[in-house]
Amino acid sequence: MLAPVLILLPPSEGKSAPRRGKPLNLDALDFTALSPAREAVLDALVEHCATAPEAAAKALGLGPTQAEHVAANARLREAPAARADRIYTGVLYDALGLGTLEGAAKGRATRWLGIMSSAFGVVRPSDPIPAYRLSGDTNLPGIGIVSSYWRDHLDQVLAPAAGTGLVIDLRSGMYAGFWRPSAAAKVATVRVLHEHNGQRKVVSHFNKATKGRIVRALLQDGSKPANPARLAEHLTSLGWTVELGVPGKNGTQLDVVVSEL
Which residue ranges make up each domain of the chain? 5-16+83-258
Q: Whole-angstrom Cα distance, residue 134 to residue 45?
A: 8
**CB within 8 Å of 259: residues ≥ 6 apart:** 194, 195, 196
pLDDT in tens, 198-257: 888 888 888 999 999 999 999 999 999 999 999 999 999 999 999 999 999 989 999 999
pLDDT in tens, 163-175: 999 999 999 889 9
Residue 140 has pLDDT above 90, yes or no: yes
Reported pTM: 0.94
Q: Whole-angstrom Cα distance, residue 81 to residue 24?
A: 6
pLDDT of res. 185? 82
Strands (E), the chain: 5-9, 82-83, 113-117, 121-123, 128-129, 139-140, 144-145, 166-169, 187-196, 199-201, 241-248, 251-258
106-116 core/surface letters (b: 16 or more CB in 10 A; e: else):
bebbbbbbbbb
Calculate mean pLDDT across residues 103-123: 97
Residue 3 has pLDDT above 80, yes or no: no
